[in-house]
Chain A
Amino acid sequence: MSELRTSSIETRGKPGLKRYAMVIDLRRCIGCDACMTACKAEFDVPLGVFRTWVPYKVVGVYPTVRKHFMPRLCNHCDDPPCVRSCPVGATYKVEDGGFVLQHYDRCIGCKACMASCPYNARFMLPKSRTYTDITHVVDKCTFCHHRVTQGLAPACVVTCIGRARIFGDINDPSSEVSKLVSTLPTQVLRPEEGTKPHVFYIGVDRNLSEPSRAIYNPLDVLEEDRRAFNKNHKG
């Protein structure tokens, strides 16, 4: 279960430090999007952007088909490229816990972190919001830092109807996430990027986990939507 540490920022397996992680058991996910909704409510996440999202793909040929879901979020990488690429230290990693967070008042909006995240986990907040005054800077999932530091689980984990999302300290061998990652075959997304993601999937489908497979047979209707989206959302 130990990992090869290649950079001093990595805290997996470091004694005395917590390293939070999430396990997503895709055998249990029913694609209800409750996690997306809970996250939207927890953080007043604006329209058009998501801290967590649940893409799906219909795999197979009728009648032998299955709808695969793969909830996504920031992987709170142990060696996060977003942190090293931010010129002003506005994105940083919390050593005890491994959360990758934002200094909203420091972010200049250069989008270097967005360019360097292999998972599209980051987005630009709109210029104005109704209830929250954090605007026009980069945002992302925080692993619910504010809840976890008070002993609560992240909002998406609490709300998950199938108990597909499990959260805990992977540096603690007795935690549920440690046990799952130790005893079951798990995958992380794009491991070849060297980011050491800390969201582990059980039962992932490669149609969803391989970054480029969506390009093979794009659905016409999706392409139309994509064009409309791109018109309204410029980098």
Chain B
Amino acid sequence: MGDFNIFHHMPWSSTYSIYFFVIGISSALFFFSMLSWFRQEFEPLRKSAFYVSFALMVVGGLLLIVDLSQPLRFLNMLNPSYLNFTSPLAWGGMNLLSFGAVSAAYYWMMRKNDETDSRRLAVLGSILALGLPVYTGFDLTVHQNRPVWNTPLMPILFVAMSLLSGAAVASFLAGTHEKLLAMLRRFMLWSAGAVGVMLVSLLGTTAYGGVGQELTFMFMTTGTLGTIFIGVGMLLGTAAPIALLLAPFGKQQQGMMIAAVLILVGGMALRYSILVGGQIVQTYF
């Protein structure tokens, strides 16, 4: 603005993007574990996907807590007289907690070999798992003053990114089960396609938006952030894996592994640049 001593920083730091990344993977892996009760080819993933999902959920929860300036006060989120339901964060906190509780119960039922209850909990947990990327998207969408975030695309984009990164991690857990690998390859292809289409439309609406959007577009397509968003996120992490998976080499396990690594690197880059992109322009106000 001109006054030399007043600057503003971005409220949400990169820790949030790591949270978005791990919680997205966690929720998709739970979904794959649930599928194992209904689709035979997913059976090898039942336990391994669930264990990784659980571990990542714990890591995600800890990241959220550590990022608070008053970490111990996360308990305030459990106080019904404090909760403010116009905030997506309040819904998200409850969603995460109930997902954790259902995950724990699911683990218990699987140990007891109780198939009926395991199935039920798997379905319930998957619905809650779906809520995680949806609410993270809403977390951003509701800020009407933030370009890139304030679009109805966000919750759907986060669901697609969650499936994409989750399928990439699952392909490492799938071993040599061919049918499963083929299914995961399909998951990767379709969700990468969906992410790609949404990113292009996001870029379009941002580029043709108002002044704030135009400038955000400028930041997100040039310089360091441009390299991360366009270079790593869109080209290396979305377009390249699609091309690789469509090629004959992409049908082999090795090809899939390479695509999965690219998808994961790209997934992190996309979440980071979307988080930061929405905040840059306002730091100049």
Q: Do A and B interact?
A: yes
Q: Are A120 and B285 in contact (CB under 8 A)?
A: yes
User: Nearest chain A CB to B82's CB is how many angstroms away?
Assistant: 4
Distance to closest chain A CB from B90 (angstroms): 4
Contact of A106 (CB < 8 Å), options: B1, B82, B283, B284 = B82
- A146 in contact (CB, < 8 A): no
Contacts of B6 in A (CB 8 A): 50, 53, 55
B137 shortest CB reach to chain A, Å: 14
Q: Residue A108 contacts which of B68, B146, B285 (CB distance < 8 angstroms)?
A: B68
Chain B binder among A148-156, A161-169, A174-182, A211-219: A211-219
Residue of B nearest to A218 (CB): B284
Asked if residues B285 and A112 are in contact (CB atoms below 8 Å), the reply is no
Interface size class of B (residues with CB under 8 A): 35 or more
- Looking at B9-17, B114-122, B123-131, B193-201, the stretch in contact with chain A turns out to be B9-17
Q: Is B244 an interface residue (CB 8 A)?
A: no
Contacts of B74 in A (CB 8 A): 108
Which of A112, A115, A214 interacts with B279 by CB under 8 Å?
Answer: A115
CB–CB B70/A193 < 8 A: no
Tell me if B11 and A229 are in contact (CB < 8 A).
no
Chain B residue nearest to A56 (CB atoms) is B2
A190-B145, A225-B4 as given contacts; A86 in contact with B211, CB under 8 Å: no
> Is A187 an interface position by the 8 A CB rule?
no
| Structural contact, A214 and B285, CB atoms closer than 8 A | yes
B3's partner among A55, A88, A90 (CB-CB below 8 A) is A55
Given A137-B70, A235-B9: A88 touches B83 (CB 8 Å cut-off): yes
CB–CB B2/A118 < 8 A: no
Chain B residues near A55 (CB, 8 Å)?
Answer: 1-3, 6
Do A86 and B70 have beta carbons less than 8 Å apart? no
User: Which 5 pairs, one residue from A and one from B, show the smallest C-beta to C-beta distance?
Assistant: A109-B69, A114-B11, A118-B145, A87-B89, A55-B1
List 5 additional contacts besides A56-B3, A90-B82, A194-B144; criterion CB under 8 Å. A50-B6, A108-B74, A112-B89, A211-B284, A211-B285
Please report B residues at the A interface, Cβ cutoff 8 Å. 1-4, 6-13, 67-70, 73-74, 76-77, 79, 82-84, 86-90, 93, 139, 142-146, 211-212, 215, 279, 281-285
Interface residues in chain A, defined as those with a beta carbon under 8 Å from any beta carbon in chain B: 50, 53-58, 81, 84-90, 106-112, 114-120, 122, 124, 136-138, 190, 193-194, 208, 210-212, 214-215, 218-219, 221-222, 225-226, 229-230, 233-235
A–B Cβ pairs within 8 angstroms, 11 of them = A55-B1, A56-B2, A57-B1, A85-B143, A88-B83, A107-B69, A108-B77, A116-B142, A208-B2, A212-B212, A215-B281
